A and B are shown apart, each in its own frame.
Chain A
Amino acid sequence: MVTTQSKRILEVRNLKKYFPITEGFLKRTVGYVKAVDDMSLHVDEGETVSLVGESGCGKTTFGRSVLQAIKPTAGETLFTQQNGDVVELSSLPYDKLRVVRRDMQMIFQDPYASLNPRMTVLNIISEPLVCHKLMSGRALREYVMELMETVGLDPRHLERYPHAFSGGQRQRIGIARALATKPRFIVCDEAVSALDVSVQAQILNLLMDLQEKLHLSYLFISHDLGVVSHISDRVAVMYVGRVVELAPTEELFDHPLHPYTEALLSAKPVADPRNKTQRIVLEGDVANPADLPSGCPFHPRCMYAQEVCRTVVPEWRELKPGHYVSCHRAQELALVGMGQTREGRGQIAQPDVPAAPANSVQDLPDAVFAEGLRDQPALADTIPVEKPQQQDQGQEGSQP
């Protein structure tokens, strides 16, 4: 699936986005929230790269920084234009950037907030065309109607305002707007998260059809692993502003190398009542991006953490072709992929002593990817499995 020979459309190198924390009258900077910290990623032509991670890990910030909707603090964003020229986006002045924007677009998460309530559908969809002075008058109108048909909207609703549409229809309007200038690269920022499952499927299929037809590349930001496994070629897992693992979709889902990925995958519901996947519930909270833990940022919540994890920041390594990970123990651990059990893997990794209190109450909403739990057919199925595991850890924890 990874086509390394094909053309790069986007290459992000060491992108950083720090939000300053200011204090007092003179707005002295007392620290930084490192929303995106040293991220590198590339997207090839016609490829879908997904970015997954829990709420607040910087996915959206990354997506917006790539498109220069917010100015990145540091790093390079190389974008290949239609004519083959490579431009560095973050150093372009506003007017030059406007020209490049024809080739890259964004689909927003919230279909209610992303459409101007005071503009008609015609005006919303045609805005990029008008801004780039590509079309006007009758031709514009006809083209917009065509676009509406492409995304499955009734072209007769051209003059209506967004409030007259349902959430799914609004999202289609947003997609039509993103497609208007025939871009080559689209950032889908949780493009289907606000929709219910049946509409999600329609929109996903629409996106994939369009990709085939128009040879689009997507950076697909999501927290929904089901969606991600459906649409992406490669998946990058983010944890507090960094990519911790990057691999082709199947590889990542079957052979995760990072403990965080394993925990995420275990939270994804499997539509099979006999499946006895152990759900790994991470203890504690997501690290504070303004005050990262020493060493590996994930170590306070990692059940395999060792001394080295607390002191040394793990390197970004390519362990298998195309499979990158930043974990000290990636090679020694045998982690469980999606829909697998520990027993099925043959070798059981010995969990280390977690830093969690012995009798911590299991808080379901706090669990990673709790969103995924929503759709789980039987909660009771998972809880009995988790409980013994927790007690085990608890006992070990109390006898150091």
Chain B
Amino acid sequence: MSARKRRQQQDGTYEVAGQWKLMWWKFKKHRLAMIALPIIVIMYTITMFCEFFAPALPLSRFRDFKDCPPSAIRLRDADGNFVGLHVRLKESVRDPVTFRKVFADSDQIIKLGFFVHGEPYRFLGLFDSDLRFFGPVEKGGEFFLMGTDSLGRDLYSRILFGGRISLSFALVSIAFTFFIGLTLGGISGYLGGFADTIIQRMIDLIMSIPGIPLWMALAAALPTTMSSLGKYLWMSIIMSLIGWTGLARVVRGKILSLREEDFVIAARLSGASHGRVIGRHLLPSFMSYIIVSITASIPGTILGETALSFLGLGLQAPTISWGTLLQDTQTVEALALQPWLLWPAFFIIVTVLMFNFAGDGLRDAADPYK
């Protein structure tokens, strides 16, 4: 027994601790989850305020720096003198063997700093600013942390902007999924009878259709003239139209078993309305399951969006998402010559892993039998 637990037992806080507090205490013991949680929070914060964190604007082109490799951040110049954070300007040279245009470091130094002024942007659509967290001290300096794409746009900035879309897309889509899943699963379980049969057969039907072709068919049905915001919302609805079935099944099962519990009957006999029975008695009894399920299904949604966008069926340029960024790597040539274009994949992997770890910790914490 840990010292804290002993202390809690002595002062009685353990006995009266609510369910959420108990869950938090157990969650804290899960080491991987405790690493994953802050990383997730940091990722969401950075991508939410990506205008501030990105050194450049996602659409501004550096015409002389197409397919430029990442520049290394250095502290000392070529002679070994300390000059502070800087990168060396890339200069275009011909490869003597292949005669291909390549970039090499020149002696010219671009100084970097925190809280510098760069190109002006509109912060979250609220106010204009040009303050940036990190970037070249001089306005318009050519600093590419993760290289540039074939149009000379800073990949690191684009990844942050794409992360805003990809990460928020997951949340929006999950919200739709839970709305549909909870409503239909709830109706199915609480009302039973004919409604239940219809909904369950519908779930059977949806589950029997292979996922990717269905996504593709639905995504291809979206008109090409649609605005990028419209496309974003419709894509998330498409994802949730397919994803709600599993959740609805579980919710139905939970409600079916809880519906006959004495305390639920007692609530009905107390004169509670259907809404109150569901909201006060049924839903809270499996809230922890829902929370766990949400975390567990975010990675799947992110991957789904990436896959569709990669195939060119999901979000499309000029909308930036991690999936559309990866579209640039569809050729072997690009992979061989510009391997830095795979950076978005790294972010996807990290995000998915972190969500899985956090979900794992949550599942353990919510499990009353552990």
Mark A residues whose CB is within 8 Å of B. 64, 67, 69, 94, 98-99, 101-102, 104-106, 108-110, 113-119, 127-128, 131-132, 160-161, 164, 174, 177, 181
Contacts and interface: CB of A to CB of B under 8 A. Distances in A.
Given A106-B266, A115-B266, 5 more contacts: A69-B269, A101-B270, A113-B263, A127-B272, A128-B271
B281 interface: yes
Contacts of B267: 116, 127
Contacts of A105: 269-270
A119 B285 CA distance: 11
Nearest to A99: B271
Contact of A177 (B15, B19, B266, B268): B266
Given A102-B271, A128-B271, A164-B15, A64 B265 contact: yes
B268 A69 contact: yes
Nearest to A109: B262
Contacts of B285: 118
Most-contacted residue by chain B among A109, A128, A160, A164 (CB, 10 A): A128
Interface in B268-295: 268-274, 276, 280-281, 284-285
A110 B271 contact: no
Given A131-B276, A164-B15, A164-B16, A114 B266 contact: yes
Nearest to B267: A127
Interface in B251-272: 261-263, 265-272
Given A118-B284, A164-B15, A164-B16, A106 B263 contact: no
Contacts of A98: 271, 273
Most-contacted residue by chain B among A94, A98, A115, A160 (CB, 10 A): A98
B281 A131 contact: no
Contact of B261 (A113, A118, A128): A113
B263 A177 contact: no
A12 to B, nearest CB: 17
A289 to B, nearest CB: 19
Contacts of A99: 271
Nearest to A119: B280
B263 A131 contact: no
A104 B269 CA distance: 8
Given A118-B284, A164-B16, A113 B262 contact: yes
A69 B265 contact: yes
Contacts of A115: 263, 266
B273 A131 contact: yes
B262 A128 contact: no
B266 A101 contact: no
Most-contacted residue by chain A among B269, B272, B274, B285 (CB, 10 A): B269
Most-contacted residue by chain B among A99, A104, A109, A161 (CB, 10 A): A161
A177 B270 contact: yes
Contacts of A116: 263, 267, 280-281
Nearest to A104: B269
A118 B19 CA distance: 8
Interface of B: 15-16, 19, 261-263, 265-274, 276, 280-281, 284-285
A127 B281 CA distance: 11
Contacts, number: 61
Given A113-B261, A113-B263, A164-B15, A67 B269 contact: yes
Contacts of B281: 116
Nearest to B19: A118
Contacts of B272: 127, 131
Contact of A106 (B15, B261, B269): B269
Nearest to B276: A131
Contact of B262 (A102, A104, A114, A131): A114
A56 to B, nearest CB: 17
Contacts of B273: 98, 131
A105 B261 CA distance: 17
Contacts of A181: 271
B288 to A, nearest CB: 11
Contacts of B263: 113-117
13 contacts: A64-B265, A69-B265, A69-B269, A101-B270, A108-B265, A109-B262, A115-B263, A118-B19, A127-B267, A164-B15, A164-B16, A177-B270, A181-B271
A55 to B, nearest CB: 17
A170 to B, nearest CB: 11
A115 B270 CA distance: 12
B271 A101 contact: yes
Given A118-B19, A118-B285, A108 B271 contact: no
Contacts of B19: 118
Contacts of A117: 263
B366 to A, nearest CB: 14
Contacts of A108: 262, 265-266
Contacts of B268: 69
Most-contacted residue by chain A among B261, B265, B274, B284 (CB, 10 A): B265
Most-contacted residue by chain B among A115, A117, A118, A161 (CB, 10 A): A118
B265 A128 contact: no
A164 B280 CA distance: 21
A394 to B, nearest CB: 44
A20 to B, nearest CB: 12
A229 to B, nearest CB: 27
A366 B269 CA distance: 34
Nearest to B263: A116
Nearest to B269: A106
A167 to B, nearest CB: 14
A311 B15 CA distance: 62
Contacts of B265: 64, 69, 106, 108, 114
Nearest to A107: B266
A160 B285 CA distance: 18
A131 B270 contact: yes
Contacts of A113: 261-263
A119 B280 CA distance: 9
Given A67-B269, A131-B272, A110 B262 contact: yes
B271 A131 contact: yes
A104 B19 CA distance: 33
A177 B284 CA distance: 20
CB-CB nearest 8 A-B residue pairs:
A114-B262, A128-B270, A131-B271, A113-B262, A101-B271, A116-B263, A98-B271, A127-B270
B22 to A, nearest CB: 12
Contacts of B270: 101, 105, 127-128, 131, 177
A297 to B, nearest CB: 27
A160 B19 CA distance: 13
